[in-house]
Each structure stands twice: as C-alpha cells, then as structure tokens.
Amino acid sequence: MPLPEGVGRRLLCAGGAGLLAAPFLAIPSGARAQQETAIRGRDGWLFAPWDRLDRVDLTNIPRVCEIIGEAMRMVRAAGIEVVLALIPAKATIYRDMMPPEMPPSREALGRYALIHRSLQEQRAGWLPDLLSPMLQARAARPDQRLFFRADTHWTAAGAELCAAEVARFIRAQIPLPPPPGPGERLGPPVVRTRSRADLLPFLPAAERRNYPPEEYLIRAPVRAGAGGLVGEDRADVMALGSSFLAPEFNFSPALSAGLGRPVALEWRVANIGPYATLTGYLGSQLFRRQRPRLLVMSLLEQPMVLLPGNRSAFPEHAMSADSFLDRVREALAARLCGGHDTAGMTCRPYRAQGWCGGCAPKQRHTSGRTGPSGGEISGRWYDMPTASRAGWAGGVYGSPMSRRRVASIAPPRMA
C-alpha cells in the first residue's frame, strides 16, 4: 500500500534497514517564502522566522500539554508505555548564534523547562531531559554541529546523542521483556552530504549560493551478511514523530542500538502536526497488526504552543481538541476490537447499547460516561490493561480462530 505524501516509515533491525518511502521534508512555497525571511544569525547561521527568542508567546503551552497529556494517558491505559522525547529548538541550543539585536528573553530560555514540567504534571508519560545533554555536548565539542547551519533539522550527531539519552533513560526506568530480536549495530562515522536545506527558500535567490550542501557525520547501521528487516510483527518499540525522525538523521537506528532490540519507525512532516501524526498511527494497519509495548513519540519545542485547531500551522490536518481526543479514543478501541472486523465480526450489537463489549470496557462510545469494568470474556471480567496483558487485545481477536471467542463477549454489566 503506498504511503501518503509526506509520510515516511522504516522498520529497523540489526543487520540492515530498509526504506519504504523516501524522506519528504516540508519546503515552503515561493509565496510563503516571499512573505517571511529567514533570521540571519552570526557566522552565516540561519534560523526559521518562527524560531526567534527575543519574544515568545507561552499562553497556549498549558492547554497544549493538557490535550497531549489526556491523549497519552489513554494510550497508557491501553497497556502501552509512553516516552515523550521533547526535542529542543535549534535556537535554544545555538542561542549564541542568533543575531545580537535579538537577545533571548527570560521566557524563551525557560520554555523547554515549562513544557517539560507541564507534560510531567499531566502524567503524559516518561520524559527524559534532552536539553541538558545537548547543551553539554555543544559546550564540550563546539566543532561538532548538532543542527545544520541552513536547515531547521538536527544533524545525525544531534539525533544520535538524543537517541542514546532516550535509550539510557528507558533502560534505567522502564522494564521491558526480552527483546524479540537484536538491535541495530552502528558502524564508524562516515561523511554524508545533505543536498537540500529547508531554510534557503526563505532567502533571496542571490543569497542562496552562499550556502553549499552541508557535510555531516553519521554512524550508519551495519548490515550483517544475510541480515534483513525484522518483521513488523516482531518490533515491540515504535518511534513516532516528525521529519526529525527521518532515516537520514539516524535517530531510530541509534535508539535500536542503545536498547538492543528492534525499533519500528513512522514519521510525518511537521505541517501534519503531532495530533494527526498520533491519530494516523493509531488508526493504521501497522498499529492494528502489532501494538507496541513502548511508544517513543518525539515532540518539537516550538510547536508546543500550537493547538490542534490551528489551520495556519496544520492546514490540512487541523481539528478541534475534542475531535482529536475522540479519534484517539476510537482508534484505541478499534485496535482492541479491530480483529472482529478482520475475522468477519463486528461489535455492532454492543455499540447499539453504547458499549463495545470488552474493547473499551470503561468508556462509553457515545456519551463518554464511565461504567463498571466490563467485557465478559469466557466467563471472566477484564479491564483494558488486564485484557492486554492476558493477550486478548494483542492478536487473539485478530485471528480467524478467535471468532467463537469474540462471539462469546457479552456487553458489560450496567450499574
């Protein structure tokens, strides 16, 4: 099945990695580039027009974190652990390269900490600190670029650094079962060239020639003799996010190497936004086939001020907060009962009563009111996490052999 434009997906394993769709990075149109101009920093560094630090608006951050927090609590309630990788802004790491007439404000310098703290307060998931290691690495090795000079994205060095920190955090904080397969093995650093830079369209044509393609180092995955891709049904860790996770930046291979287990990858361009990225994945066949034990979702510092209904930022994917949360809820419920459809069964008899028996036992599909823990499966009652651990939600419904078991599910008992 072809992937939508702007969507990349790759499954990673030891012995190699394959690319199912070429990376696509959002490039502004000519009209937009004429309206906005890149920020010209020191020593030829370029920053996006929206990346300035002298004035920032933090008003929406608590509400954005509240919305994301509610969505992630639903994901966790479905038996999936969540790690949120909050990626610092380029201007935050290279604040000294901003033009002297744009000194960073106190609010801008505290923005990352505010987002991090707000997500923690919402119990959105595990939150490693990626700002401190990036600032420390920048100070220790100023010659090693963590972001491209004329691009909004991080380099492979920046991505690998953060992936290693996320992997270290996961190993220390989150117990995982034995890996379903080996992790990636990274080779020695090799030089590659990034032929495009997404900030050049924000410059007059005459200035663009001053920015040749940038070279960078990457520890590319090493293919083992007859190695190949681990099947998607074996990877139990999913990396999900924006184009910062595109294969050319090497985040997922480095995460796989650090965890010693295969990592699946799905990424979408930034103007799709984190909201549609999450609902798109939860509603995908990939998620239906194999729900992960651990979701590592990347979030970018600057867009954490954007509400899901922002049509300027997400022109084709804006939605209300209620619509976003409903889609998350429905996608998780569909995943848990999606095997009914695969096996030729549906939950319509239960949905007629406002319930999907056994699939979202504590959630009404229509009113959202909670009820007793329900979904009678073979004479036993399970709440959603217990059902997941017992294996009912992880593929039993998905096989044709499960038809009789599915048919035995009774609607939850009403209080």
Residue-wise pLDDT for 53-99, tens only, equals 999 999 999 999 999 999 999 999 999 999 999 999 999 999 999 99
Instruction: State whether 286 and 386 are in the same domain.
Output: no
Assigned domain for 330 exists: no
Q: Of the candidates 292, 319, 346, which is a domain's last residue?
A: 319
Instruction: State whether 297 and 351 are in the same domain.
Output: no
Instruction: State whether 181 and 310 are in the same domain.
Output: yes
Q: Which three-class secondary structure state does DSSP give residue 92?
A: helix
Instruction: State whether 339 and 290 are in the same domain.
Output: no
Instruction: State whether 120 and 236 are in the same domain.
Output: yes
Which residues, including other chains, have CB under 8 Å from residue 303's CB and lie 6 or more apart?
270, 273, 274, 313
Q: Give the pLDDT score at 16.
A: 34
Does residue 379 carry a pLDDT above 90?
no
3-state per-residue secondary structure call for 283-337: CCHHHHHCCCCEEEEEEECHHHHCCCCCCCCCCCCCCCHHHHHHHHHHHHHHHHH
Q: Is residue 147 a contact partner of residue 127, using CB atoms and an 8 Å limit?
A: no
Instruction: State whether 264 and 376 are in the same domain.
Output: no
Number of domains in the chain: 2
Q: Of the candidates 286, 319, 352, which is a domain's last residue?
A: 319
3-state per-residue secondary structure call for 102-171: CCCCHHHHCHHHHHHHHHHHCCCCECCCCHHHHHHHHHHCCCCCCECCCCCCECHHHHHHHHHHHHHHHH
Residue-wise pLDDT for 324-336, tens only, equals 999 999 999 985 5
Does residue 283 carry a pLDDT above 80?
yes
Assigned domain for 304 exists: yes
Q: Model pTM?
A: 0.76
Q: Which three-class secondary structure state does DSSP give residue 253?
A: helix
Q: Give the pLDDT score at 244.
A: 97
Instruction: State whether 146 and 228 are in the same domain.
Output: yes
Q: In whole angstroms, what is the distance from residue 313 CA to residue 276 CA? A: 12
Nearest to 134 by CA among 187, 77, 86: 86
Instruction: State whether 307 and 200 are in the same domain.
Output: yes
Assigned domain for 369 exists: yes
Assigned domain for 329 exists: no
Instruction: State whether 280 and 365 are in the same domain.
Output: no
Instruction: State whether 353 and 256 are in the same domain.
Output: no
Instruction: State whether 360 and 222 are in the same domain.
Output: no
Q: Give the pLDDT score at 358.
A: 41
State the chain's mean pLDDT as an integer: 77
Q: Give the pLDDT score at 267.
A: 94
More confident residue, 401 or 309: 309
Q: Of the candidates 266, 293, 319, which is a domain's last residue?
A: 319
Residue-wise pLDDT for 162-207, tens only, equals 999 999 999 999 999 999 999 999 999 999 999 889 999 999 999 9
Distances (CA, A) of 39 to 43, 135, 153, 275: 12, 21, 15, 28
Assigned domain for 205 exists: yes
Q: Give the pLDDT score at 254.
A: 97
Q: Give the pLDDT score at 224.
A: 52
Assigned domain for 2 exists: no
Instruction: State whether 102 and 155 are in the same domain.
Output: yes
Assigned domain for 28 exists: no
Does residue 409 carry a pLDDT above 50?
no
Q: Give the pLDDT score at 271.
A: 85
Give the residue numbers spanning the domain of 108.
7-22+36-319
Assigned domain for 325 exists: no
Pinpoint the alpha helices (H) of 174-320.
205-208, 251-259, 273-282, 285-289
